[in-house]
Amino acid sequence: MTSEPSSIERKRGGLKSDQLSGLMLLALALYVGWENRAYPVGTLQEPGPGYMPLILVVFLGATGLLIALWGAKSAPLASMNWTEAARAVVILVACGVATFALERIGYRLTVIALLIFFLGVIERKRPLPVALVAAGFSFASFYIVGDLLHVPLPRSPWGF
């Protein structure tokens, strides 16, 4: 019982990727189904606001379950390659921070900061091109979208 599982067994055991994703979908369906209880389902003749969501919950739950059940042949979760995941999370968090800042410090400052972070910190480009791209992109895009197309892009509290 305590013997080390062989490499083949390790491959066969453990959660498979489709099993995980299928179960996640099932969980989502159950959550939506729980939320949906607030809305009247109505009848077949007169469907209420909860009618179509209920059908979709059942459908998504069923497909999720089937994906999980038939997922035994799919690639094991452990074999999935997540090399780019760390970078992806950093990019998303940076964009999230930028979104949060957009209406606080204005469009131009936010974009300059975001581009300096991406180009200078993540991609480690040389400072001069970074500064040129960041400032150039920020002002050029503000001019096109904000001034020419009259989109009210957010400005900083200092009117900039």
Partner 1 sequence: MAETFQNLMLGFSVALQPSILVYAVVGCLIGTLVGMMPGLGPLAGISLLLPATFGLNPIVAIVLLAGVYYGAMYGGSTTSILMRIPGEAASVMTCIDGYAMTQNGRGGPALAIAAIGSFVAGTAGVVGLMLLAPTLADWALRFGPPEYTALLLIGLFILAYMSGGSMLKTLAMAALGLMLGMIGIDVMTGYTRFSLGIVELGDGVGIVPVAVGLFGVSEILLTAGAVAAPEVQRPRLRDLVPSGEEFRRSAGPVARGSLLGFMIGIIPGSAHIISSFVSYGIERRISKHPERFGNGAIEGVAGPESANNAAATGAFVPMMALGIPTSPVTAVMIAAIMVHGILPGPMLIQTQPELFWGFVASMYVGNVVLLILNLPMVGVFVNILRIPYGYLYPCILCFCIVGTYSVSNSLVDVWILLIMGAIGYALRKFGYDLAPVALGLVLAPMLELSLRQSLTMSAGDYGIFLERPIATTMLGLGVVLLLFALKPLVFKSKDWRSEVGLEKQ
Partner 2 sequence: MKTTTLFAALLATFAAMPAAAQGSFPNRAISMIVAFPPGGVADGTARPTAAAMEKVLKQPVNVTNRPGAAGAVGNSVVANAKPDGYTILMALSSISVIPAADELFNRKPAYSLDQLVPIALISADPTILVVHPSLPVKSLKELLALARSRPGQLSFSSSGIYGALHMPMEMFLHAAKLKMRHLPTAGGGPALIAVLGGHVELTAGGPAAITGHVKSGKLRTIVSWGGERHPAYPDVPTFKELGYKNVEYYIWAGLVAPRGVPDPVMKSLRDAVRMVVNDPDFKNMMAKLNSPIRYMDAPEFRKYWDGDAKRLAALVKVVGKVEAKK
Binding site for partner 2 (CB under 8 A): 46, 150, 152, 157-159
Q: How far apart are CA 83 and CA 73, in angstroms?
A: 23
Q: Choose between 5 and 92: whose C-beta lies nearer to partner 1.
A: 92
Tokens 């949060």, residue located: 100
Q: Which residues bind partner 1 (CB under 8 A)?
A: 17-18, 20-22, 25, 28, 32, 35-36, 39-40, 43-50, 52-53, 56-57, 59-60, 63-64, 66-67, 70, 73-74, 80, 82-88, 91-92, 95-96, 98-99, 102-103, 107, 111, 114-115, 118-119, 123, 125, 129, 133, 137, 141, 144-145, 149-153
Q: How far is the CB of 150 from partner 2 (least distance, A)?
A: 5
CA 53, 54, 59, 64 dihedral sign is positive
129 in Cβ contact with 139 (< 8 Å): no
CA distance 114 to 134: 8
Of 1 and 44, nearer to partner 1 (C-beta) is: 44
**Minimum distance from residue 158 beta carbon to partner 2 (Å):** 4
Residue 141's binding partner among partner 1, partner 2, none (Cβ under 5 to 8 angstroms by kind) is partner 1
Closest approach of Cβ 4 to partner 1, in Å?
29
Query: What number of other Cβ atoms are within 10 A of residue 134's Cβ?
Result: 20
CA torsion through residues 10, 14, 18, 20, sign: negative
CB of residue 115 vs partner 1: minimum separation in angstroms?
5
Tokens of 152: 């009210």
H helical segments located in 14-50: 17-36
CB of 41 to partner 1, least distance (A): 12
Pairwise CA distance, residues 137 & 141, whole Å: 6
